Amino acid sequence: MLMIAAILIPVAAGIAISAIPMEDRMRKALYACSVLLTDAVAAFAAMGGETLRLSELSEGVAIIFRADTLGRCFLAVTILLYTSVLFYSFEYMKMEERIPTFYAFYLISMGALIAECFAGNLVTMYLCFEFLTLTSMPLVLHERTKEAVAAGLKYLFYSVAGAMMGLLAIFFVYHFAKDPELFIYGGFLDPSKYTGAETVLLAAVLAGIVGFGAKAGMYPLHGWLPTAHPIAPAPASALLSAMIAKGGVLAVIRLVYFSVGDQLLRGTWAQLAWMCLATLTILMGSTMAFGEENLKKRLAYSTVSQISYIMLSLSLLTDAGLRGGLLHVFSHACAKGCLFLVAGVFIYKLRIRRVTELMGIGRTMPLTLACFTLASISLVGIPPMGGFTSKWAIATAAMDSGAGVFAVLGPVVLLISALLTAGYLLPVMVDGYFPGMVTGYEDDEKAEPNALMLIPMFILCAGSLLVGVFGSSFMGGLVF
């Protein structure tokens, strides 16, 4: 029952602590204790490896939770991001209103994401995926301005529309399944059932990939990211980009690798379409980020591009491609989470949102800019940071995949995107270290945030470095 406790503790705590009147300091202490308790219970549940069958919705359709290798990987990133961002948010949210409401949905969405990590079959995963959408949407429209409400609704519509496409795929998978009760690496379809209907099945699976890919920002359902991220508070933006969007990646992996099976799609038009969409998204996201002046919106377009690295790696339909994609899940989560937290510091301390206003920022915020620098070089793919290791893994997986032109085109696209990434991130770093004035501050006045904001950024930078140094060895030892 530890898995259920790990899901329910943050949900119950978020509702209860936010609803009961109390002093702000006590409320924050209870939020922190709840998240740390959730971390511990979730970790113990993941190590236990139990399978829990809750109920049967209909014949052959049950609600099942199970701890497996893939779920543990995403759970580890969830724990790291939600815990780090929580402590950062205690300082940042002082500038916001309706703080208890924010933390209520913060903790509830944590429970929803943990539930998706522990989902044992497609139906359970789908329900958790939808619950994650509904509970994370209030984080986007938190400010309740006209723009925030529009952004939240756009996120909701895109995600729900994508989920409906995913549900279509689930219908077909269950229809052609041998035994869909639990995820099985390699799939559980019965060839005798889908023989003669391969085209329909492939079309349904591709619809599911595109649908679940909406939360991950894959073209053509990517539009919510650059709309939602600049509007949401910085802690919410960090979670949306670094972790909640990965809920779509997890759903795609579960559908393709653990339900349908990579063998069915390999060499088909569906794989080709998936590769084309992922490649197009990488280039489009990088190009759009290059010309964007709003820092958070630039980072949002960057997320569109960077998460599609994962989708491209997954579309190779090889074991190496899956491992390379998972490695980029870790490296991108640490780097992009840190970058959004840095952007939040600029907003919180200086009310700066545009890139052109950051000239000379290193003189007043040297530690903050150092975090921005480390996270940026990771996204660009400069060793020894995690971005280099994960992109190397994806490029080598592409060249070894036998995927025709994409065996060459994949690495080429990664290099072009890396150059564009360097073009929209490194100038911010260089300009920040150049002499210049920051509005409202003298040359010798420091504007560094306090430890609550700095330490989470340091932790994420350290995480990115650890992925770069040890990531390949760790992924090589995983058994699915």
Q: How many CB atoms lie within 10 A of CB 273?
A: 16
**What are the φ and ψ backbone dihedral angles of 449, each rounded to 5 degrees?**
-75, 175
- Annotate 202-233 with DSSP letters as a single string: HHHHHHHHHHHTTTTT-TTS-THHHHHHHHS-
What's the angle, vertex CA 449, arms to CA 446 and CA 453, rounded to 5? 160
- Annotate 152-183 with DSSP letters as a single string: HHHHHHHHHHHHHHHHHHHHHHHHTBS-TTS-
In 93-121, alpha helices (H)? 99-118
Output the six-digit token pair for 413. 């696209």
pTM, two decimals, is 0.94
SS3 state at 63: strand
Output the six-digit token pair for 253. 């992996």
Output the six-digit token pair for 119. 């989902």
Cα dist. 109→10, 35, 127 in Å?
Answer: 8, 12, 13
What residues pair up with 66 in beta bridges, in sequence order? Answer: 51
**What are the φ and ψ backbone dihedral angles of 123, each rounded to 5 degrees?**
-65, -45
The Cα–Cα gap between 102 and 111 comes to 15
**Tens place of pLDDT for every residue, the chain, 480 residues?**
899 999 999 999 999 999 998 899 999 999 999 999 999 999 999 998 788 888 888 777 889 999 999 999 999 999 999 999 999 999 999 988 889 999 999 999 999 999 999 999 999 999 999 999 999 999 999 888 888 899 889 999 999 999 999 999 999 999 999 888 889 999 999 998 988 899 999 999 999 999 999 988 888 888 888 888 888 899 999 999 989 999 999 999 999 999 999 999 999 999 999 999 999 999 999 999 888 899 999 999 999 999 999 999 999 999 999 999 999 999 999 999 999 999 999 999 988 889 888 888 888 899 999 999 999 999 999 999 999 999 999 999 999 988 889 999 999 999 999 999 999 999 888 888 876 554 444 445 678 899 999 999 999 999 999 999 998 888 888 888
In 187-318, alpha helices (H)? 191-194, 198-212, 224-231, 234-239, 246-255, 262-265, 269-290, 295-315
